[in-house]
DNA sequence: GATTATTAATTGGTCAACCAAAATTATTTT
DNA sequence: AAAATAATTTTGGTTGACCAATTAATAATC
């Protein structure tokens, strides 16, 4: 899940809210040192562990930087921006399915495009192998995960580690959504063909074909997500 | 920074390596329960805190799920995929600048495109306000952060929280790169104009124009990143 | 009085003990 | 023998104490 911190959020969100208010009241200037862990723990009547978790989360998003034995510094950006960032972090949980799928689509298409430019012979080989593995497991419970691996190989060939990591982060969320709804529980033969088209496009270095093929391949999922959103509003 | 866990990685990476090996030796089956925190801490001769940090990181990426008082379960995907995921996580650090910029470009363009479809009057108003704020601070040290806010408003208008969060994650990394190289320390007047074009495109719901304008707006940064990569290989 | 050296207090990092919930085992009851 | 109950162990969650490094405050020196 993207929201790692869901179960501890009761405490964490309390800390984030407090930091937010500190900035709001002008008691915490951007670029300055934020309260010591012990101090804040006592102030909020909460364990220091929770403060540390909250600070770690803020550090993940680049808002604070913790220096051992000297304290945690808040980013030197204007307080309006800071507040926006923090309130965003507080709301990070339960991404809607359509946003996840939309983002995956755009990242996968870019990965395919870059793969056309940068894939070497070894990548192509790995791609073919992953596809064969997928076909071999088409009627087994491993099909879904073999499909995941196929897409990961493409991301690998794109030579863009950021895209690779981001797909790594959102894919489990997507899976958890459509496993529940047992979408794609029945394997479609068209998937095999679509994979093959993507491989051919990458091998022939045709980025436009690769992107189009990837879009087509994910279109069923995309449509599913859109419909799900619509029926939610009815 | 995206690599939150950099300073504790000495211990964390040790744990991840161990889990990786467990899977490799077949001692840890996918879908099964992984070692209790105390057990593993003793085994690796390391504090339980480090085990908890490592498990938390694995949970962030959806590889494990921790249940209070009953243990942590590893995802029920095939061991090859599991190993790939873990080795990816171990290598998550020090993203190269080009990957970051490439990814930002693709996400910003998609955000602009979606904003054309979904922005309401309030969003347009916020966009204009953010731009005016940017202009007002054009000669001040706040220019960079005002630019950041402008882009955040677009992400907000896209109604895609995943894209918004991901931009939130990678932007600080990008900033830390080009602040070092004092790229864009001299403000270019074209930026003002480019922002205005983006606003007009979104207001007139012309997604193609908005995407093109965003691409143009980020082209200087993109070119900078590509050149930096080239000179790295010389 | 200013500067340096020394001491004390503060800080984040780490560890070990404790807590309540859950899972397991042993005991009792039927 | 099977089922229900009770005691025990194991589990992740939480807390407070300790550690080394840093910083601030104080004393000593010039």
Percent of chain B past pLDDT 70, that is, above it, reads 88
**Residue B102 touches chain A, beta carbons under 8 Å:** yes
* Residue A2 pLDDT exceeds 90: no
Q: In the prediction, which pLDDT does B93 show?
A: 61
Q: Which of A134-138, B16-20, B86-90, B224-228 has the lowest mean pLDDT?
A: B86-90
- Judged by CB atoms closer than 8 Å, whether chains meet at A148 and B77 is answered as yes
| pLDDT 10s digits, B129-140 | 999 999 999 988
The average pLDDT across B161-190 equals 73
- Give the residue with greater pLDDT, B65 vs A169: B65
| pLDDT 10s digits, A98-120 | 999 999 999 999 999 999 999 99
Contact criterion met (CB below 8 Å) for B105 and B49? no
Contact criterion met (CB below 8 Å) for A58 and A34? no
Range among A10-14, B25-29, B215-219 rated most confident = B215-219
Contact criterion met (CB below 8 Å) for B72 and B112? no
| pLDDT 10s digits, A22-38 | 988 889 988 899 999 99
Using the CA of A47, give the nucleotide whose C1' is nearest. D15
Q: How far is the C-alpha of B115 from the C-alpha of B213, rounded, in Å? A: 13
Q: How far is the C-alpha of B149 from the C-alpha of A78, rounded, in Å? A: 10
Distance between alpha carbon A156 and the CA centroid of its chain, in Å?
16
Does strand C come within 7 Å of the CB of B11? yes
Range among A58-62, A85-89, B206-210 rated most confident = B206-210
The average pLDDT across B165-179 equals 77
Q: In the prediction, which pLDDT does A180 show?
A: 52
DSSP at B73: E
* Token code pair at residue B233: 């290989």
Distance between alpha carbon B60 and the CA centroid of its chain, in Å?
14
Pairing of strands B71-74, B64-67: antiparallel
Which of the nucleotides in strand D have any atom less than 7 Å away from a protein CB atom?
A: 10-17, 20-23
Chain B residues close to A60, C-beta within 8 Å: 1-2, 4, 169
* Token code pair at residue B78: 């095939």
Min Cα–Cα distance to chain B from A1, Å = 5
Confidence bin at B5 (pLDDT 50/70/90): very low
Q: In the prediction, which pLDDT does B11 show?
A: 82
Q: What residues 168-197 of chain A have any CB closer than 8 A to a CB of chain B?
A: 168-173, 176
Contact criterion met (CB below 8 Å) for A173 and B62? yes
Q: How far is the C-alpha of B144 from the C-alpha of A60, rounded, in Å? A: 21
Contact criterion met (CB below 8 Å) for B198 and B214? yes
Q: In the prediction, which pLDDT does A185 show?
A: 54
């Amino acid at each position: 899940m993207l929201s790692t911190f869901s179960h501890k959020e009761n405490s964490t969100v309390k800390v984030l809210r407090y930091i937010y208010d500190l900035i709001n009241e002008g008691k915490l200037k951007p670029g300055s040192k934020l309260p010591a862990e012990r101090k804040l723990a006592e102030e909020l009547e909460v364990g220091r562990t929770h403060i540390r978790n909250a600070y770690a989360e803020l550090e993940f998003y680049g808002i604070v930087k913790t220096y051992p034995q000297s304290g945690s510094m808040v980013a030197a950006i204007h307080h309006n921006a800071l507040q926006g960032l923090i309130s965003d972090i507080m709301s990070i949980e339960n991404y809607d399915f359509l946003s996840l799928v939309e983002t995956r689509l755009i990242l996968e298409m870019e990965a395919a495009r870059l793969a056309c430019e940068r894939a070497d012979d070894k990548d192509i080989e790995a791609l073919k192998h992953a596809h064969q593995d997928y076909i071999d497991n088409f009627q087994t419970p491993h099909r879904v995960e073999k499909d995941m691996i196929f897409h990961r190989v493409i991301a690998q060939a794109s030579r863009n580690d950021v895209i690779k990591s981001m797909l790594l982060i959102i894919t489990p969320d997507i899976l958890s959504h459509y496993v529940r709804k047992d979408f794609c529980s029945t394997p479609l033969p068209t998937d095999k063909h679509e994979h093959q088209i993507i491989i051919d496009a990458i091998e022939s270095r045709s980025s436009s074909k690769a992107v189009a093929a990837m879009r087509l391949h994910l279109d069923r999922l995309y449509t599913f997500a859109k419909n799900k959103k619509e029926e939610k509003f009815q």
